[in-house]
Chain A
Amino acid sequence: AQTVTQSQPEMSVQEAETVTLSCTYDTSESDYYLFWYKQPPSRQMILVIRQEAYKQQNATENRFSVNFQKAAKSFSLKISDSQLGDAAMYFCAFSAPPASKLTFGTGTRLQVTL
């Protein structure tokens, strides 16, 4: 069974600053995928960024990037130039074929201040 751990229940960042959200996971699978999902208050979950485990290069999507450390089973999310709209719950998630069901962490609530 897979487990995903997010050890930061809450984080705060000032607008325009950079923040890093932590995630560790445990699995015996060799073929898997990691995701960061964003859940704004009272709104639906949306994908922020994904990482294939077989790729060494860290994924980036505009202001969002990951630091994927496969040996350490660590998958952190860096948000640069934080914006007020980034305020949300962020969930780290794991999936592996064939089911590709998502296993989520407990989430990190990100607050963005002026």
Chain B
Amino acid sequence: DTGVSQNPRHKITKRGQNVTFRCDPISEHNRLYWYRQTLGQGPEFLTYFQNEAQLEKSRLLSDRFSAERPKGSFSTLEIQRTEQGDSAMYLCASSFGSGGQREQYFGPGTRLTVT
């Protein structure tokens, strides 16, 4: 199966620690999106890349968050100095092309718990 993969699937960390998540999109998908989903809510947009360029960041993405997509392949999302409010499911999605109708394929997510 060559779907979107995310690692780790679960992460428990103590407040103040740094964490990094990885997303491997479907090969040849040039767009990659990160979303955050809290319990009982729909996913909220965080940021997206077209190839290696980060084109937009949500105001939800504080200075403690940074995302990269070197070489336009996999992407990492790092959270520094984690806070309890960062506890959520972090979803990655990828798509091919830039048209608004393009389907975004989602990964299984990384569930972060900050204690």
Contacts and interface: CB of A to CB of B under 8 A. Distances in A.
A16 interface: no
Interface in B73-115: 91, 93, 95, 98-104, 106-109
Contacts of B109: 44
Interface in A1-51: 4, 31-33, 37, 43-47, 50
Nearest to B44: A104
Q: Interface residues of B: mostly helix, strand, loop or mixed?
A: loop
Counting chain B residues whose Cβ lies within 8 A of the other chain, the interface size class is 20 to 34
Interface stretch (A63-71, A78-86, A94-102): A94-102
A43 to B, nearest CB: 7
A50 B40 contact: no
A102 B41 contact: no
B31 interface: yes
A100 B99 contact: yes
Tell me what chain A mostly uses at the interface: helix, strand, loop, or mixed. Answer: loop
A19 B27 CA distance: 37
A47 B103 contact: yes
Nearest to B47: A101
Nearest to B46: A101
A52 B101 contact: yes
Contacts of B45: 101-103
B100 A97 contact: yes
Contacts of A111: none
A21 to B, nearest CB: 13
Contact of A99 (B43, B55, B101): B55
Nearest to A9: B40
Given A91-B42, A97-B99, A98-B98, A44 B107 contact: yes
Nearest to B92: A44
B35 interface: yes
A77 B109 CA distance: 25
